[in-house]
Amino acid sequence: MATAKKLPSGSWRCLVYSHTERIFDTKSGTWKDKRIYESFTSDDPSRRGKADAERQAAEFQQDRDTNVSRKRQKNGNILLKDAMKKYVEAIGPSLSGTTVQGYSKEQYDSYAFLMEKKLKDITTEDLQKAVDDDTKRPSKRSTKTKAPISPKTVRNTYSYIRSVINYFYPNDNYDVRLPKIPKKVKNLIPAKTVLEIIKDTEIELPCLLACWLSYSMSEIRGIRVRDISNGYITLDRVIVDIGQTPTVKESGKAEARLRKHHIPNYIQALIDKNISGKKPDDPLITLSGHAIYMRWVSLLEQHDLPHMTFHDLRHLNASVMAMLRIPDKYAQERGGWSSDRVMKNVYTHTFSEEREKVDETIDNYFDSLLDGSASEKEKSAIEIINALREADPNGWYKALLNMQHEMQHKN
């Protein structure tokens, strides 16, 4: 039985376990089990108040145990494959299309032997075997090397299966070992090289929007002619592919991504050429996301450069801002990462003087790469990392990892 404790105010509080939720820890980049507790209080400072808080907690716990028992008894015979289908049907209306699509993908081959198994019969050993098998599953992106999927993908797949089981058959007794996500910092192609290979190509504009203004693929595809006005781009939506169908998502659900960017002169000239004859609701970029990506990969191959995803251009932008010592809050604003200031600045007609200086610093850097006036050789990613390590030996990696993680998970 839970025991109540006296608070500084004199009241009594009793905490009792409610359930466990799977949450994503942005600091470590991993999924974790978080125990959720219910709080019961009494304002009576006497021993009667203590007894009252404990009585409320005991009643809740009894009701919880009864409800969990009923739920397990009711759903224990459901097959895992049926539970997965019902889970999507049950929570689908509250999720975005891209999330539901992720749940519907056929990426659960390692769990195939469990699909015909009843939820009540699935054990820790079963789930551990599935996870171990999943760590060997070949990645579809590595057809040449046949490299396995990433530890992050393994963990995400298990998290979904675990969520399905707990939704119908609550069970906190599973103890599955998951692969650790290794620490890594991408060695990116220098910005100067990127600008050289995209020059005068069909994808120069989308690439510049990514590496210079830090837009993601979905954001670039969401920009309309009407979003460009008085030297600024105002982002308020994205376009993603759901089942191969381009689908508009309003950015209001991710406030940090609702932002406004000053347009550098060079990019403005490309935009002016691109929007000639277009209507206000026409997209700025007409190529599909797949077409842009394939042209980007082709450029890398033509110039014998190492593989780098289109999304890595946003990482390149983050590295440039780190090299230029851009203050964190302005780097967050430009990149659309979590910041309390973003919403306040989006629809204003002017930026703060400090933000304008930041934009000017970054624009001058890219302009110098374009016209060849850079005063010194551009630093490689390793050199930038070494400089950051020197400046902040204890916090350099955490700051860079957090920035990269936010870029990967807010699309």
> How does DSSP assign 337-388, residue by residue?
-S-TTHHHHHT-SS--HHHHHHHHHHHHHHHHHHHT--SSPPPPHHHHHHHH
Report the C-alpha gap between 190 and 320 in whole angstroms.
9
pLDDT at position 385: 59
Asked if residues 244 and 297 have their Cβ atoms less than 8 Å apart, the reply is no
Domains of the chain, residue spans: 5-75, 80-168, 191-409
pLDDT at position 342: 33
Q: What is the CA radius of gyration of the chain?
A: 26
pLDDT by 10s per residue, the chain, length 411: 689 999 999 999 999 988 877 676 666 656 677 888 999 999 988 988 999 999 898 888 888 778 888 888 889 999 999 998 888 888 766 555 656 666 555 567 889 999 999 999 999 999 999 999 999 988 876 666 678 888 888 988 898 899 889 889 988 788 899 998 777 666 788 889 999 999 999 999 999 999 999 898 989 999 999 999 999 998 888 888 766 777 777 654 455 456 788 999 999 999 999 998 899 999 999 999 999 999 999 999 999 998 888 988 988 888 888 778 877 777 777 777 554 333 233 333 344 566 677 778 888 888 888 877 655 445 555 555 565 566 556 665 555 555 555 554 544
Q: How do beta strands 228-229 and 30-42 pair?
A: unpaired
How would you label 54-63 residue by residue, b for 16+ Cβ within 10 Å and e otherwise?
A: bebbeebbee
Comparing CA positions, the residue from 157, 167, 153 lying closest to residue 89 is 167
Please enumerate in sequence order all residues whose Cβ is within 8 A of that of 250, keeping only pairs 6 or more positions apart, or say none.
Answer: 236, 237
pLDDT at position 238: 85
Which residues are paired to 229 by β-bridges? Answer: 232
Per-state percent for the chain, helix, strand, coil, to nearest 5: 50, 15, 35
Which residues are paired to 241 by β-bridges? Answer: 246
pTM (two decimals): 0.59
pLDDT at position 314: 87
Q: Does domain 191-409 have CATH number 1.10.443?
A: yes
Which residue in the block uniquely carries the two structure tokens 């019902």?
Answer: 86
Judged on CB neighbours under 10 Å (0-12, 13-18, 19+), 178 is middle
pLDDT at position 392: 59
pLDDT at position 338: 54
pLDDT at position 139: 80
Report the C-alpha gap between 267 and 272 in whole angstroms.
9
Please enumerate in sequence order all residues whose Cβ is within 8 A of that of 403, keeping only pairs 6 or more positions apart, or say none.
Answer: 318, 331, 335, 337
